[in-house]
A and B are shown apart, each in its own frame.
Chain A
Amino acid sequence: MELLQTIETLCGAVGVSGQEHSAAAAALNLLKEYAPNAEIDPFHNVYGVVRLAKEGQPAVVLDAHIDEIGMIVTYVDTHGFLKVSACGGVDRRLVLGQEVIVHGRQELHGVVAAMPPHLTAGDDSGKVSEIEQILIDVGLTRDEVKKVVALGDRVTIKSGFHSLLGSRIASKSLDDRSCVAVILRTLELLKGQDLSCGLSVMFSAQEETGERGAMIAGYQLKPDIAVALDVSFAHTPDADETKCGKMGAGPMIGMAPTLDRELSQRFVTLAQQNQIPYQTEVMGGATGTNADAIGVLRGGVRMGLLSVPLKYMHTPIEMVDLSDCEATARLLAAFLSEIGKGE
């Protein structure tokens, strides 16, 4: 597999929380090469067993979420404009004037209406609109809209897939499709190796609306150890450097009270031994990722977290560096090669 190509394929698919069909199908298709029995459950979680644990071996699960943020249609007004609510943490400061796709019975293209300056001129407050105030313009009458759009259909902001300087790329939904690709890349690196652990993969639904898919998929897979793969904040000039990772500096190894200390340390040691660039991300409690949900499943799961540094999270122009994705996959592969050996 080619990492860039895999990410582009995954990002091109649509999967707003709760309606992950297309993204799940794309991920399933790619996962089947490594887990032929992989399947999609009724919640749109994708999961597959790569290798069953033998007696005494730990069962390891790798997780990345398949859903993306977006909007959900709540109303069609008399002029045919759609009203929406948010599915996940939409940055309302950037929605006006965006190109959108309404995923109804068929796709409708349109734009988010922006009031022209002559109507906002007196408003110096610079106040951002509530998501419920915006209008989606699909250029149709209410009757025409209703033929193809049902309340509850999802809306995504359209984005291109852009190759930037170096090995950096920008697109929608790199959160968390870049990590879906990292897991697939890890499986590729492990091909032909005999592991000493059971290995399953889940691409979980509804992370953005509260880590819900991971609860369900994780329960089914009964892990002893799990590693969540997600994106985290890469520094931009307007952010606090002490609260961000650095793009291009390798995976961010999560350290937190909710994560297994020994696993975190093992990632650091492995990165050093294998000369893989890495950085640490220390949090004071919950991590805001699926790691929080998976860690307390059934009788408890030893939890690790690796994050790919990403800029502009939750926007149509999320950015990652492919070198970070590759380094994360290498670290994860090194971890899986070792886990269960002599334990």
Chain B
Amino acid sequence: MWERVEHYSRLNGVSGDESAVREAIIEEVKAYCQYEVDALGNLICFKKGMVTPDKKLMLCAHMDEVGFIVTHITDGGMLKFTTVGGIDSRVVLGRAVNLYRTGTIGVIGTKAIHQQTEQERETVVKVEDMFIDIGASSREEAMNVVRPGDCAVFCTDYEEFGDGLLKGKALDDRLGCAVLVELIRSKLKFDMYFVFTTQEEVGLRGAKAAAYSVNPDFAVVVETTTAADLSGVSEQKQVCALGKGAVVGFMDRATIYDRELYALAYKLAVEKKITAQTKTMVAGGNDAGAIHTSRGGVRTIAVSVPSRYLHSGVCTVKKEDVKAVLKLVYELTETIL
């Protein structure tokens, strides 16, 4: 499991450019299910279980990650860029990024602190004022390795630290992908669909198409969600915390979750002794937003891994929470239908 998580975290797949992730997943699941890739790049897998149920269940995780896209190359060889997905501009400056089409490394900086005015030193730099520097001296030199439309990701070390914590880029939502792959490769009771979606970070777009195609009755979205369990943050505003298990919320900014499934999740958590927690704020959103309103409506629940520093290069999660998510999702697949 952890090897797979590391492998997936290191893969590069900014929204709209997820093929490397998809290929890696196909490689691992093709012996266990039927699959197809749709027009938006979603990977839709169907796995036979021991029982064919009357209703359809769809599990979902997104393959894409937040990142950057090159918009323009200046005469001087600097790359102008914009963010893909919600990246806080405070966590962009002073980092190396990987323009992964060609594996070109660039850095994002500004003039030195010594040359900044007092006001500049105190003000967060906006992404539109930043540039990626690949060491090129001219546009021509830069164009040898980069072109507009190329995507970039944070250069981050995937590693374990502290008391069972993991950090890496793209754990949102490669953790979900890893959980789904784990399930596809295991013995399951019911037939079900596993969908690995594209373009979640730019508006839950892949899931919308995939939910239409699969046409499920029930859906379980496996995700990561923001935990703000930091010193100085009130319990309520922490939303959820690392080490307190799988997160099953009642509502976020995209979805009001199915009340019966919500109750079922906690019933299973108690029965199977799986740690689980709800969210103490209505915050965030995920593919459930697109899925639950698909066609005539889909009864949907989301099970998430709590993560600190979610849309940065250093998504930080606790391994035991990932285990809890895997267990709870498995139990849900056994009982929803």
Chain A residue with the shortest CB-CB distance to B105: A162
Q: Give A244 to B131 CA distance when docked, in angstroms.
A: 18
Q: Give A229 to B78 CA distance when docked, in angstroms.
A: 28
What A residues does B149 contact at CB under 8 A? none
Q: Contact between B123 and A317 (Cβ–Cβ < 8 Å)? A: no
How close is A42's CB to chain B, nearest CB, in angstroms? 30
Residue from B112, B136, B167, B308 in contact with A99 in the complex, judged by beta carbons closer than 8 Å: B167
How close is B53's CB to chain A, nearest CB, in angstroms? 38
Which among B15-23, B35-43, B93-101, B193-201 touches the partner chain?
B93-101
Chain A residue with the shortest CB-CB distance to B126: A126
Q: Contact between B165 and A312 (Cβ–Cβ < 8 Å)? A: no
Is B4 part of the binding interface, using a Cβ–Cβ cutoff of 8 Å?
no
Chain B residue with the shortest CB-CB distance to A310: B112
B207-248 interface code vs A (CB 8 A; 1 in, 0 out): 000000000000000000010101111000101000000000
Is A288 part of the binding interface, using a Cβ–Cβ cutoff of 8 Å?
yes
Q: Contact between A91 and B94 (Cβ–Cβ < 8 Å)? A: yes
How close is A61's CB to chain B, nearest CB, in angstroms? 25
How close is B88's CB to chain A, nearest CB, in angstroms? 6
Chain A residue with the shortest CB-CB distance to B226: A116
Instruction: Name, among B90, B94, B110, B126, the residue most crowded by chain A CB atoms within 10 Å (CB to CB).
Output: B94
Is A190 part of the binding interface, using a Cβ–Cβ cutoff of 8 Å?
no
Q: Contact between A164 and B134 (Cβ–Cβ < 8 Å)? A: yes
How close is A254's CB to chain B, nearest CB, in angstroms? 15
Q: Contact between B90 and A114 (Cβ–Cβ < 8 Å)? A: yes
Chain B residue with the shortest CB-CB distance to A127: B122
Interface size bracket, A side? 35 or more
Chain A residue with the shortest CB-CB distance to B89: A126
Is B28 part of the binding interface, using a Cβ–Cβ cutoff of 8 Å?
no
What A residues does B311 contact at CB under 8 A? 117
Q: Contact between B112 and A314 (Cβ–Cβ < 8 Å)? A: yes
Is A94 part of the binding interface, using a Cβ–Cβ cutoff of 8 Å?
yes
Residue from A77, A118, A127, A239 in contact with B123 in the complex, judged by beta carbons closer than 8 Å: A127
Which among A24-32, A105-113, A299-307 touches the partner chain?
A105-113
Is B86 part of the binding interface, using a Cβ–Cβ cutoff of 8 Å?
yes
Is A257 part of the binding interface, using a Cβ–Cβ cutoff of 8 Å?
no
How close is B155's CB to chain A, nearest CB, in angstroms? 6
A296-328 interface code vs B (CB 8 A; 1 in, 0 out): 000000000000000111111101010000000
Q: Contact between A118 and B283 (Cβ–Cβ < 8 Å)? A: yes
Which among B56-64, B183-191, B255-263, B312-320 touches the partner chain?
B312-320
Q: Give A135 to B316 CA distance when docked, in angstroms.
A: 14
What A residues does B308 contact at CB under 8 A? 111, 113, 137
Is A128 part of the binding interface, using a Cβ–Cβ cutoff of 8 Å?
yes
Q: Contact between B111 and A238 (Cβ–Cβ < 8 Å)? A: yes
Q: Give A120 to B113 CA distance when docked, in angstroms.
A: 24
How close is B17's CB to chain A, nearest CB, in angstroms? 22
Q: Contact between A93 and B93 (Cβ–Cβ < 8 Å)? A: yes
Interface size bracket, B side? 35 or more
Chain A residue with the shortest CB-CB distance to B80: A237
Q: Give A156 to B88 CA distance when docked, in angstroms.
A: 22
Is B264 part of the binding interface, using a Cβ–Cβ cutoff of 8 Å?
no
Chain A residue with the shortest CB-CB distance to B232: A135
How close is A306's CB to chain B, nearest CB, in angstroms? 18
Residue from B74, B114, B230 in contact with A313 in the complex, judged by beta carbons closer than 8 Å: B114
Q: Contact between A139 and B121 (Cβ–Cβ < 8 Å)? A: no
Q: Give A285 to B159 CA distance when docked, in angstroms.
A: 47
What B residues does A244 contact at CB under 8 A? 111, 115
How close is B167's CB to chain A, nearest CB, in angstroms? 6
What B residues does A311 contact at CB under 8 A? 109, 133
What A residues does B167 contact at CB under 8 A? 99, 111
Is A36 part of the binding interface, using a Cβ–Cβ cutoff of 8 Å?
no
Q: Contact between B230 and A236 (Cβ–Cβ < 8 Å)? A: no
Chain A residue with the shortest CB-CB distance to B74: A237
What B residues does A321 contact at CB under 8 A? 135
Residue from A141, A158, A233 in contact with B115 in the complex, judged by beta carbons closer than 8 Å: A233
Q: List 12 A-B contacts (CB under 8 A).
A: A114-B90, A115-B230, A118-B281, A127-B122, A162-B155, A164-B106, A166-B136, A236-B111, A237-B76, A247-B137, A288-B114, A314-B112
B residues sitting closer than 8 Å to A (CB atoms) are 74, 76, 78, 86, 88, 90-91, 93-96, 104-115, 121-126, 129, 131, 133-137, 141-142, 145, 155-157, 159, 161-165, 167, 226, 228, 230-233, 237, 239, 281, 283-284, 308-314, 316
Q: Which 8 A-B pairs have the closest CB atoms?
A: A139-B162, A164-B135, A94-B94, A312-B109, A97-B91, A168-B135, A313-B112, A317-B107
Given contacts A94-B94, A99-B314, A116-B309, 4 further A-B contacts (CB under 8 A): A127-B122, A164-B105, A236-B110, A239-B111
